[in-house]
Amino acid sequence: MAHYRVLVNGVNFWLLVEDTPKRMGFFTTRFVEAASPEEAELAAVDLLRAERKLKPLNERSDPPRVFVEGIEEVLAADIPAVLPGFTFFPDDGETDA
């Protein structure tokens, strides 16, 4: 199996920010081991579903969305010892997705 770096963009995540619900977006990178880029995409999204920081407060009628912006095969040696976090930004709800 190969190692992949997966760049992910999340939008429309209603999260508590300083005890106030706010619509946020984020970028993050996840490193996964998978048999193909398609499986790497699924594995990265599964990792995000398990993240405690990403428990959205969204209503079912207004779900958060996750987009994979890029997938690149990397060497195991290229995976950092400290895995990346999140870069959050205010999401005004107007995306090109």
pTM: 0.88
Q: Is 56 exposed, middle or buried (0-12, 13-18, 19+ CB in 10 A)?
A: middle
Task: Look up residue 22 and give its two tokens.
Answer: 């706010």
**Residue 7, SS3?**
strand
Q: Please write the tens of the pLDDT for every residue from 11-47.
A: 999 999 999 999 999 999 999 999 999 999 999 999 9
Q: Which residues contact 70 (CB under 8 A, 6 or more apart)?
A: 5, 6, 7
96's CB contacts (< 8 A; 6+ apart) are: none
